[in-house]
Structure 1
Amino acid sequence: MKKYCLVFSFVSLLYAFGAFAQLKSGEPFLKVTHITISVNNLDSMRQWYISMLNARVIRERHSDTLQYVRIGIGDFFIDMLQITGSQREPYQDLPVLQHMKIQGFRHLVFEPENFEKVYSDLKAKRIAFYNDQDVSNKTITHSVFFKDPEGNVLELHKDPAQ
C-alpha cells in the first residue's frame, strides 16, 4: 500500500517538473491541477478542508477498500484517498521545522489574494500557526505554516513583491 502512495506522489512530482521544463523551453505549458493525499479519516479531513479553507466537494467514490473525495480550492484540487490498511510514517509527525529537513515532498502552499485577511480568518477559526507572520525574511518570502488534522503541513505564502 505504501508503494502505491509513493507512486502517486512520484508521478505528481514528475508531472509538475515536466510542466516547469516545458514552460522554460517555450513548449506548450501543462497546468498542474491537483495533488493526491492518503488519509486516515476521510470524513474529518473533508469537513476540515471545507470549514477551514472553504473547499468545495467536486466528487466522491466509495468501495470496500477505498474511499475517495476530490475537493476544490480555487482552480486547484486535492484528491483524498482513505485506503484500507494504509498507515502514516513516524517522520510525518515531526514538528514543522524538523519536518522541513527531510528530503522529498514537504508541504502544500496556498497564496491567497489577501494574505492578511485569510491569516486573520484562520486565526479566528483557531488554526494553530507554527511561526509568526514576521518570522520569515520578508525580502525573500512571507510565509506562515500550519497543519491539517492529520498533520500534513500547509503554508500560507505571500510574495513580497506583491
Structure 2
Amino acid sequence: MKALFAPLALTFSLFLAPYSESQPNAASTGSRTNLSFLNVSQSLETPSGSGLETLQIYNVAISVANLDESIAWYEDKLGFQLQNRRQVSTGIEIALIEKNDFYIDLIYITGSENVEGSPQDPPDHLRVQGLRNLVFWVNNLQATDAELKSKGVQLIWESRYIPEVETSVTNFRDNNGNLIAIWER
C-alpha cells in the first residue's frame, strides 16, 4: 500500500523548493520596494527547454484577513520565519515566510472575505472543490502533535492512522481556518 503514497511524496517533494540564491531577511534590510525576494526556484539548475517542460513550483499563496496575526501564527505555531514583507500595490501587502526551504506568501488585500462558509473537518472538507489543505511531512508525528498542543493548536485528527497508505496524519487549522495536514514519513 505504500506505493499508493508514493505519488503524494513525489508531489510534496516539489514543494520543497530551495532558493536559487541567498536572499536577505526582511528584518535585516530596510528596503521595502525591491521584489528580488520573488526569485524562488525548485533547484539550482534551470530546466532546459521551453514551455511546460520548464514548469516548476514557485510557492503557495494564502489570502489572509490580518497579515500581522497570520505571520505571528505561522512563526509561533509552526516555526516559519519572515523573509520579506512589503506593499505591492494600493491595498495589497504580502509577507514571504519560510521554513526548511518551503515558502508561503501570506497576502492581505483590503476588502477580502471568506466566501467558502463554515470550514468542514476531514474528510468532508473535500466536498468543496479547489485547493483543500496545506500538507507537510515530519519524522515523528506524535512528538509533533505534543509540540503543537503545547502551543495551543487544537488538533482535529491526532496521529490518525490511515491503513491505505500505512502512515498517520494530524490535521488542524491555521488562524484563518485553513486546513493543515502533517503526515508522518
CA-CA distance at 1:28 after TM superposition: 7.4
- Greater fraction helix: 1
Aligned residues: 137
Give the structure-1-normalised TM-score.
0.72
Partner of residue 143, structure 2: 117
Once residues 89 and 98 of structure 1 are traced to their aligned partners in structure 2, the CA distance between those partners, rounded to angstroms, is 17
- How far the C-alpha of 1:105 sits from its partner, in A, is 1.1
- 8 Å contact 1:33–1:75 — kept in the other structure? no
1:64 deviates by 3.8
Q: CA RMSD in A?
A: 2.7
Q: For 1:46 and 1:54, locate their aligned partners in 2 and report how far apart those are by CA, in whole Å.
A: 10
Code of the aligned partner of 1:150: N
C-alpha contact 2:86 2:94 (8 A) present in aligned 1: yes
Q: Kindly state the Cα deviation for residue 104 of structure 1 after the two structures are TM-superposed.
A: 1.9
CA separation of 1:39 and 1:92: change in aligned 2, threshold 3 A: farther
- Inter-partner Cα distance in structure 2 for 1:105 and 1:36: 11
- Aligned-partner Cα distance in 1 for 2:85–2:164: 40
Larger radius of gyration: 2
Q: Note if contact 2:61-2:104 (Cα within 8 Å) is conserved in structure 1.
A: yes
Gaps of 5+ in 2: 1-13, 16-41
Overall identity of the aligned pairs, in %: 27
Question: What is the match of residue 157 of structure 1?
Answer: 183
Confirm or deny: 8 A CA contact 1:42 1:81 kept in the other structure. Answer: yes
Identify the residue that residue 155 of structure 2 maps to in structure 1.
129
CA distance in 1, matches of 2:54, 2:139: 23
TM-score computed with the length of structure 2 as normaliser: 0.64
SS at match of 2:114: coil
Q: Secondary structure at the match of 1:77?
A: strand
Q: Say whether residues 1:34 and 2:63 are aligned partners.
A: no
Are 1:100 and 2:126 matched, yes or no? yes
Question: Could you tell me which residue of structure 1 aligns to residue 86 of structure 2?
Answer: 61
